[in-house]
C-alpha cells in the first residue's frame, strides 16, 4: 500500500481502534491559525499536532527555521498523542499535504511504518459531507519506542561534502523563482545549493488537488536515476517532505531529507550559493 489514502478510505476506518487521526493544519506567519481551525472543526477523534510547537525544535543559530526535534522529545509527543507503535496513523492538513507529510516523515524516521497522508485534506473532507465536529477527546497515552532510521536524514556537512558528486542527486523543492534566487521572502540569502535540480513540491498534486499516482510522480522526476542517492531540501525542511514521499511513490530507493534545508545551509558562512537555472537533464 502506498502512503496516500483517500477520503473514503479514512471514512470507512476512522472509528477502528488502532487508527490515530492527526490534524496538522498550520499556516506560516499565522502560527495560531491551525489550532484555531482545529478547535472550530476537525475530523472526529483527531488530535492536533502543531508544526512549530510539536514537530519542530526551537530555532537556534543553525538547524534552519524548523529544526528537527530531539528524538526523546518527539517520542514523548507521539506517546502523549496516543501514537503507539501498534497504531495506524493518518495525517491531514489544508496545505496540500505539506504539514501532514512532515509528520509522515518524522514517524518514518523514527521507524514507524504504518503512517499515511490523507489525500486532498480537511476542506475536501468537509465539502464531501463527511463528519466533522469540535469535540476534543481525552488523550490516552500509548508508548512509542523509536527505531531511528539514520539513513533517511542527511546533515549539512555531508551535503557539502557531496557537492558535485556524480552519484548524488540534489533536489530543491521550492518554487522556481526562489530556486533561481530571483525572490526570497523568508530567508536572508537567495539562491540554491550548487548542483540542485528544481522540482516544486506542489506539482506532486494535480489540478483537482489530488496527489498524482505513482506513474505521474515518476514523470515529474524523469531523467533522474531511481537508485542513486537522492537528497531533498526546501526552505526549512517542511515542504521537502511531500517531495520525499512523492519520490518514494515513484520508485526511488535511496531518498534522504536535508532537514535543515536552505535556511540551515545559509547559516554557515562560506557555504557556496548558486543562482539562475541549473536544471538540465542527465547527459
State the span(s) of the chain assigned CATH 3.40.250.10: 4-127, 150-265
Question: What is the rounded CA–CA span in Å between residue 236 and residue 172?
Answer: 11
H-assigned helices in 69-129: 71-80, 98-109, 122-127
The C-alpha cell at 277 is 537555472
Task: Quote the pTM value.
Answer: 0.96
Tens of pLDDT, residues 62-72: 999 999 999 99
* CA-CA-CA-CA dihedral for 27, 200, 167, 162, to nearest 10: -50
Residue 173 CA to residue 240 CA, distance in Å, equals 5
Whether the per-residue pLDDT at 1 is higher than 90: the answer is no
Structurally, at CATH architecture level, domain 150-265 sits in: 3-Layer(aba) Sandwich (3.40)
> Which CATH architecture fits 4-127?
3-Layer(aba) Sandwich (3.40)
What does the pLDDT look like over 125-144, one tens digit per residue?
A: 999 999 999 999 888 999 99
What is the pLDDT at residue 247?
Answer: 98
Which range has the worst mean pLDDT, 46-55, 230-239, 274-283?
274-283
Question: C-alpha distances in angstroms, 21 versus 44, 164, 220, 280?
Answer: 9, 41, 29, 41
Catalytic annotation, pick one of 4, 118, 234, 246: 234
Residue 24 designated active-site = no
Residue 51 has pLDDT above 90, yes or no: yes
* Per-residue confidence (pLDDT) for residue 278, from 0 to 100: 84
Query: What is the pLDDT of the chain when averaged over all its residues?
Result: 96
Over residues 139-161, the pLDDT tens digits come to 899 999 999 999 999 999 999 99
Residue 282 has pLDDT above 50, yes or no: no
Structure confidence at residue 105 (pLDDT): 98
- The mean pLDDT value for 252-267 works out to 98
The predicted structure's pLDDT at residue 237: 98
**With 90 as the cut, is the pLDDT of residue 268 above it?**
yes
Over residues 81-105, the pLDDT tens digits come to 999 999 999 999 999 999 999 999 9
Amino acid at each position: 500500500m502506498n502512503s496516500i489514502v483517500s477520503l473514503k478510505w479514512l471514512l470507512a476506518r476512522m472509528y477502528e481502534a488502532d487508527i490515530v487521526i492527526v490534524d496538522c493544519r498550520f499556516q506560516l506567519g499565522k502560527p495560531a491559525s491551525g489550532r484555531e481551525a482545529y478547535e472550530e472543526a476537525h475530523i472526529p477523534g483527531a488530535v492536533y499536532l502543531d508544526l512549530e510547537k510539536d514537530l519542530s525544535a526551537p530555532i537556534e543559530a543553525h538547524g534552519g527555521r524548523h529544526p528537527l526535534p530531539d528524538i526523546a522529545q518527539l517520542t514523548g509527543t507521539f506517546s502523549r498523542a496516543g501514537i503507539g507503535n501498534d497504531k495506524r496513523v493518518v495525517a491531514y492538513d489544508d496545505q496540500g499535504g505539506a504539514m501532514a507529510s512532515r509528520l509522515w516523515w518524522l514517524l518514518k524516521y523514527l521507524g514507524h511504518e504504518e503512517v499515511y497522508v490523507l489525500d486532498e485534506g480537511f476542506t475536501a473532507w468537509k465539502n464531501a459531507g463527511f463528519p466533522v465536529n469540535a469535540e476534543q477527546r481525552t488523550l490516552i497515552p500509548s508508548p512509542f519506542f523509536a527505531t531511528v532510521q539514520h539513513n533517511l536524514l542527511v546533515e549539512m556537512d555531508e551535503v557539502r561534502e557531496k557537492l558535485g558528486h556524480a552519484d548524488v542527486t540534489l533536489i530543491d523543492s521550492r518554487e522556481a523563482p526562489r530556486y533561481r534566487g530571483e525572490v526570497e521572502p523568508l530567508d536572508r540569502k537567495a539562491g540554491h545549493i550548487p548542483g540542485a535540480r528544481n522540482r516544486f513540491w506542489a506539482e506532486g498534486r494535480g489540478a483537482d488537488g489530488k496527489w498524482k499516482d505513482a506513474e505521474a510522480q515518476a514523470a515529474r522526476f524523469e531523467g533522474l536515476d531511481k537508485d542513486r542517492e537522492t537528497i531533498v531540501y526546501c526552505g526549512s525542511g517542511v515542504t521537502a517532505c511531500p517531495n520525499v514521499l512523492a519520490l518514494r511513490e515513484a520508485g526511488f530507493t535511496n531518498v534522504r531529507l536535508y532537514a535543515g534545508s536552505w535556511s540551515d545551509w545559509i547559516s554557515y558562512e562560506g557555504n557556496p550559493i548558486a543562482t539562475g537555472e541549473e536544471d538540465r537533464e542527465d547527459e
